[in-house]
Structure 1
Amino acid sequence: MTSNNPNVVAIGGGTGLSMLLRGLKEKPIDITAIVTVADDGGSSGRLRNELQMPPPGDIRNVLAALSETEPLFEELLQYRFPNGNGLSGHSVGNLLLAALTNITGDFAKGVRELSRVLNVRGKVLPAANQSIMLSAVMVDGTIVDGESNIPRHGDKIAKVYLTPSDVEPLQESIDALREADLIIIGPGSLYTSILPNLLVPKLGVEICRSKAKKVYVCNVMTQKGETDHFTASDHVRVLLDHIPDDCLDTVIVNHQSVPQQILKRYEMEGAEPVSLDRKKLESFGLKIISDNLIKYDQSVIRHDERKLANLIMQLLP
């Protein structure tokens, strides 16, 4: 039975996308999340290398965010073994996705089956049904291979690209984009969570071809080794360096200030608030929505998922 709810597609990865989806799942919309499979570090990287499967970590986070199961079961999904020969560092959810990939013989089918078990609100789709390698060309011409290596290199990124360059998206992702009323890009690590999705050739084309309104949710903090000293317009400029200029309609940016004691802690990590440079941002011809959009979770800065979801709902036709 077809729903009459608006169709919303959210694209990205990492904790940013998960926070957004926690807010959106309470709304009367049909959600499809298209999630990066470029991760090559930690538990995801080990499973990717040992089992020759797409990395499950970003998918796991999104499944947890959209699940409507018991809180204890979500906690179980995210539980990471602190020790144990071969188990140390692995999360239960990653291992479940690895097992289901082996059982079904297909990563996307494994994600679909775990979605059903978790009573996930909406669809969660990997950006591709295979692992992809993310590489960066630095401003000095150096090429750095691997999503986890790029922020550690310490130089400014000129551009990123995928190997294989002709990776195919799932047909379900193409269909979701064609049926979308609203497409949300971000929040999340600009080069390593967002761009790997947009660089999947047919995904990028379908996003730009879509008649849906397209909104970019800008990060609230910069990321060391990736977006050092970036303003809001710097984030948008990088997106438009990788996709056509007329692909975005709207940008959502935080303008809430951060308390000094929290700023000091982030300074030690090489991060600072993303400033709203409105005049430069206006030069892109985008609609700008700015608001107080942050909350604090044990001194960690996050997007306020409820405020963000409310702003996004106002963009629906």
Structure 2
Amino acid sequence: MTGSAKAAEYRPRIVVIGGGTGLSVMLRGLKEKPVDITAIVTVADDGGSSGRLRSELSMVPPGDIRNVLTALADTEPLLGKMLEYRFKRGRGLAGHSLGNLILAAMQEITGDFVTGVRELSRVLAVRGRVLPASGTAIVLRAEMEDGTVVVGESKIPLAGGKIRRVSIEPADVAPLPDALEAIRMSDAILIGPGSLYTSILPNLLVPGITKAIAESDALKIFICNVMTQPGETDNYTVSDHLDAVKEHVGQDLFDYVIVNNGEIPEQVQSKYAEKGAKAVHLDLDEVTRKGYKVIADRLVLFRTYLRHDARKLSQHIYQLVESWMFKKR
């Protein structure tokens, strides 16, 4: 095989770090591109079905892992709905997601959560790898501006205060070696979208994760949320998001920031305002002054909720990665 043929076959290695619905939406678009995806997912969830399984079975909370597996799986729509199905009745069963229960079963069958995820990925024909940031569940703590401390990922957005800083326990939790290796071998690293303090930062606070990102010569991109999140990022601008990351990890990590600059219909804004959310303002001058390059486009779709336009977002990501790799050759 010629060198040019090998080059044509090469698939850029992209590591995506985060958690929550926003990450899953993006991955549904990105998996359609000719790229090799590794998703590194938060293990701080302590609410709902994930929290119950975490407590009762001493396992890594499976909810965010399940969402990402479903997003990357090459499955029939009915199977995806089945994995997401949440039981409404049954003593001890109500509230549980079937996908979470399957992951719990896979841990029992294989003897290890990470192995269970890998085997389920094979069954679901997942396009890429899905890894927890750590093989151990972590507890998230938030220090609020008034000095109070809120313990628990699910409780932090409900506290109603302004977050000064989040931290994890145990602080010296071991990162998953496969996650560090994926970062080291990557061509591009994407962080976000997702809840800033409860989905994104918990990954970056796992010892070794940020160091591996900083030392990598990969392209580093921050995908900013479309809307602020009540109890986490009230009134935050794009630069506020970036500042929060820098304050927690101690350095600038990103080369590019991808943001939405499309108009959001007034009726949609009103619907979100009722819950205390509004569009994240792009303070372009401040973001560029801090040294970030900005890709801004209309990147939203509205159905029941506002979501990133996965197709357009993935196209911007792929073009950036291709251009970055071309310059490195």
User: Smaller-chain TM-score range?
Assistant: over 0.9
2:162 paired with 1:162: no
Give 1:248 shift. 1.2
Pick aligned residue for 1:290 from 288, 296, 305? 296
Deviation at 1:284, TM superposition (A): 1.4
Question: What is the SS of the residue equivalent to 1:315?
Answer: helix
Residue number among 287, 296, 312 corresponding to 1:307 in the alignment: 312
Alignment of 1:1-317 (within 5 A): 4-298=10-304, 300-316=305-321, 317=325
Q: Work out whether residues 208 and 244 of structure 1, in 8 Å CA contact, stay in contact via their aligned partners in 2.
A: no
Question: 2 CA distance for matches of 1:242 and 1:250?
Answer: 19
TM-score in terms of structure 1 length: 0.98
Write out per-residue CA displacement over residues 14-71 of structure 1, whole angstroms, 9 at most, x where no aligned residue: 0011011101100001000000010000000011111111100000000000000211
1:179-233 CA distances to partner (integer Å, 9 max, x unpaired)?
1000000000000000000001111110111100100000000000000011111
Shift in Å at residue 7 of structure 1?
Answer: 0.3
Q: Could you tell me which amino acid in structure 1 is paired with residue 247 of structure 2?
A: D
Query: Aligned to 1:247, what secondary structure does the other structure show?
Result: coil
Cα deviation, residue 4, structure 1: 2.0
Q: Which ranges in structure 2 are unaligned for 5 or more consecutive residues?
A: 1-5
2:269 partner amino acid: L
Matches of 1:244 and 1:312 in 2, distance apart?
25
- Distance in 2 between residues matched to 1:211 and 1:66, nearest whole Å: 26
Question: What is aligned with 2:3?
Answer: none
Please report how far the alpha carbon of residue 245 of structure 1 lies from its aligned counterpart in structure 2 after TM superposition. 2.6
Unaligned runs of 5+ in 1: none
Q: CA deviation at 1:151?
A: 0.6
Query: May I ask how many residue pairs the two structures share in their alignment?
Result: 315
Question: Which residue type is aligned with residue 150 of structure 2?
Answer: V
The alpha carbon displacement at 1:282 in A equals 1.4
Instruction: Please tell me whether the aligned partners of residues 294 and 301 of structure 1 are also in contact (alpha carbons under 8 angstroms).
Output: yes
Q: How many Å apart are 1:244 and its aligned residue?
A: 3.5
Q: Helix, strand or coil for the counterpart of 1:55?
A: coil
Query: Aligned partners of 2:139 and 2:26: how far apart in 1?
Result: 26
SS class of match (2:172): coil
Runs of 4+ in structure 1 displaced over 4 angstroms?
none
CA root-mean-square deviation: 1.1
Q: Give the secondary-structure state (helix, strand or coil) at the position aligned to 1:246.
A: coil
Question: Would you say the 8 A contact 1:221–1:272 is kept in 2?
Answer: yes
